Amino acid sequence: VRLFFQILLTVNLIFFYKISIIETNINFLDYFLNNFIFNIFFTSFCILIVINGLNFMDGVNNNVIGYFVLLLSAIIVIESKNFSIDYLNFYKLLLYASIVFYFFNFFNKNYLGDSGIYVLSIFISVIVIEFVNKSSHVSPLIAINFLWYPAFETLFSITRKLFFKNNPFKPDTKHLHTLILTSLKTYNFKNANTISGTLLNLALLPNFFIAINYYNNSVVILITTIIYLVLYIFIYLKLFIAQKKILTFK
């Protein structure tokens, strides 16, 4: 039911506000994007992936809001470098508000919750789409660099659940951030929840640093994203196997 309403609202948002992905630098995909119906479908699919990915990510403090702070900071720096002022003040306002929220979330004083995640997801999706569409100086593939984490979190989680013959629509505690949290708790770390999200934020710093410095280099952006995907899978499997051994030993 929730997914149905997500689809309904996303398609309406795209249709009435004329939101569309214009270019990806992937030739065959760009050809199909010229078709109005396919463009609505593809843009809706991308936004839904981000919405559900961020929802999956929201299991530990600072993970989602920290990711948003990094993404917004990268866009603001890139836009400032190129003297583009479209929406820049609005982005800065969002950034300042997010930093304040990050501070309180760090100390376990507030949380995004489902409603906060949905609002943030729409902001992130539209900001990235408009940024790529209106910034001729950036490679369209920078969207992949910005959004690979929530996108891969969704696709990896669905694939994992199907592989283990679990219902992909039901939540579980086998996401990367929850495995990190469980590992920290095993070693009796205090404030393990906040530390987990902060570690993930720090791990993403090089990703956004590269995006800021190579925003128009499709090859570097693509290689960076592939490296992060490989690292994600490697770390996930290491933590998953380690925790499975602990449970077997117990």
Please give the single-letter amino acid code of residue 54.
L
Q: For residue 248, what pLDDT is reported? A: 57
- For residue 36, the tally of other CB atoms under 10 A from its CB is 9
- In the three-class reduction of DSSP (H, G, I as helix; E, B as strand; rest coil), residue 76 is classed as helix
Q: What is the DSSP letter of 175?
A: S
- For residue 69, the tally of other CB atoms under 10 A from its CB is 19
Q: For residue 26, what pLDDT is reported? A: 85
User: Token match 């100086």: residue?
Assistant: 137
Asked whether the beta carbons of 224 and 207 are under 8 A apart, the reply is yes
Helix axes 88-106, 63-81, angle to 10 degrees: 150
Q: For residue 1, what pLDDT is reported? A: 84
pTM above 0.85, yes or no: yes
Q: For residue 190, what pLDDT is reported? A: 87
Asked whether the beta carbons of 127 and 68 are under 8 A apart, the reply is no
Cα–Cα–Cα angle for 142, 57, 107, nearest 5°?
Answer: 110
Q: For residue 137, what pLDDT is reported? A: 87
Which residues in the chain land under pLDDT 70? 83-85, 246-250
Distance CA 48, CA 154 (A): 10
DSSP states along 20-60: -----S-HHHHHHHTSHHHHHHHHHHHHHHHHHHHHHHTTS
Q: For residue 249, what pLDDT is reported? A: 52
On the CB side of 220, how many CA atoms lie within 13 Å of its CA? 14
